[in-house]
């Protein structure tokens, strides 16, 4: 009864088989399309999402409600005494705050530690996996947090975005910036640094952007073996080719290739490809 359980959100990008293997509870991110509300990876298929992404009404994301987290924590209170709830960077999402509100309201039923991964996608996913492994080993909550504190500063994440269109539509880029970038055919290469997305390079084609991401990823880990996640937005074949390029440059200990959820694809659009690295 004293075992720690792990919760994350669907923006972490965890594949379903890994969720099941490590008994990780995933709280879905809400996706709003007009008057209709969906839950990421629950009642909104990738096909339906991408069809609506180019529709008349731009989909929007929001954080899960405290009630969504309370439901997950209450379920776990029946089988555990503590929970570590690991989420995407609080600097770009309100998910951590919603989880904290829920954790406070559940204090008499179960001890919940809300943990800011300070990164995105499978960066939070890798930390969730490591937390679950530590729980299986019998580590307590403080020991798990200590392990995650050591690991999260090692995580590197790079993304190539094929068009500025969706960044502009989602409000992350001004209309003028999007037009200027489109005229010049600028393709941004983005890194997540200290929980914030920063443009680290600008190139003139998407293939060159992908090459640049490979270069940056290889430089980031050097010769150190690493766990690697290739995340793509409706671009599996391109992601497979990208993974082969990474294999030529990086000593990959574990490779995960997965689709990013709608909550990230809204901003990058189809064709977006990113890599998350956790060096050993």
The two three-digit tokens of residue 93, written as one number: 């999402």
pLDDT of residue 34: 85
Report the mean per-residue pLDDT for the chain.
89
Within 13 Å of residue 236, how many CA atoms lie on the same side as its CB? 3
Residue 168 — very low, low, confident or very high, per pLDDT cuts 50/70/90? low
pLDDT of residue 169: 60
pLDDT of residue 2: 53
Q: What is the mean pLDDT of residues 80-87?
A: 96
Distance (Å) of CA 17 to CA 21, 24, 37, 134: 6, 10, 26, 19
pLDDT of residue 173: 44
Contact 170, 266 (CB under 8 A): yes
CATH number of 156-279: 3.30.1180.10
Distance (Å, rounded) from C-alpha 93 to C-alpha 189?
21
pLDDT of residue 212: 97
Q: What is the mean pLDDT of residues 126-144?
A: 96
Residue 158 has pLDDT above 90, yes or no: yes
Query: What is the percent of the chain where pLDDT is above 90?
Result: 66
Residue 176 has pLDDT above 50, yes or no: no
Give the start-to-end residue ranges of the domains of the chain.
4-29+64-152, 156-279
Q: Which of the residue ranges 116-130, 161-175, 186-200 would you say has the lowest mean pLDDT?
A: 161-175
Residue 178 has pLDDT above 50, yes or no: no
Residue 182 — very low, low, confident or very high, per pLDDT cuts 50/70/90? very low
Name which residue leads in pLDDT, 213 or 44.
Answer: 213
- Top-level CATH class of 4-29+64-152? alpha beta
């Amino acid at each position: 009864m004293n075992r720690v359980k792990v919760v994350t959100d669907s923006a972490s990008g965890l594949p379903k088989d890994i969720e099941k293997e490590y008994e990780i509870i995933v709280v879905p991110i809400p996706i709003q399309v007009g008057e209709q509300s969906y839950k990421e990876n629950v009642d909104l298929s990738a096909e339906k999402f991408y069809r609506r992404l180019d529709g008349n009404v731009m989909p929007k994301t929001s954080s899960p409600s405290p009630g969504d987290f309370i439901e997950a924590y209450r379920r776990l209170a029946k089988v555990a005494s503590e929970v570590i709830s690991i989420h995407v960077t609080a600097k770009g999402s309100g998910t951590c705050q919603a989880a904290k509100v829920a954790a406070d309201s559940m204090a008499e039923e179960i001890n919940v530690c809300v943990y800011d991964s300070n990164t995105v996608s499978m960066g939070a996913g890798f930390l969730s996996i490591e937390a679950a492994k530590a729980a299986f080993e019998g580590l307590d909550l403080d020991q798990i947090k200590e392990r995650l504190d050591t690991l999260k500063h090692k995580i590197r994440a790079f993304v190539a975005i094929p068009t500025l269109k969706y960044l502009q539509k989602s409000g992350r880029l001004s209309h003028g910036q999007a037009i200027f970038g489109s005229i010049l055919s600028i393709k941004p290469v983005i890194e997540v640094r200290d929980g914030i997305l920063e443009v680290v390079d600008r190139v003139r084609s998407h293939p060159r952007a992908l090459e640049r991401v490979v270069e940056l990823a290889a430089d980031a880990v050097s010769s150190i073996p690493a766990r690697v996640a290739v995340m793509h937005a409706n671009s599996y074949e391109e992601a497979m080719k990208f993974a082969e390029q990474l294999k030529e440059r990086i000593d990959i200990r574990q490779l995960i290739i997965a689709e990013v959820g709608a909550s990230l694809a809204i901003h990058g659009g189809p064709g977006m490809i990113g890599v998350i690295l956790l060096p050993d």
